Amino acid sequence: MKPKHKALLLNFIAFMALFLITRLTLGHYVPMSPIFLAVISAITATVFAPKFGAVNTQGGKKVMMKWIFIKGAREV
């Protein structure tokens, strides 16, 4: 699998996991319209999900992760 495709897949998985966790948790505890639940969950997942990207290095392409809770970027 190419690093670019792997990064795209990891971005999707991280976003979807946080979106579903937020959506189900808020839906269980806060009675709200489904549209507002989806919007709030999407914004929360966008902010808190780790970002993955393919980076060219001297050793070739690598998948790197950048996250709000970790300083700098980490190799995956």
Give residue limits of the domains in the chain.
Answer: 3-75
Look up residue 33 and give its amino acid.
S
In which band, very low, low, confident or very high, does the pLDDT at 59 lie, cut at 50, 70 and 90? confident
Length of the chain equals 76
Radius of gyration of the chain from its Cα atoms, rounded to whole angstroms: 15
25-34 pLDDT tens trace: 999 999 989 9
Q: How far apart are CA 68 and CA 57, in angstroms?
A: 23
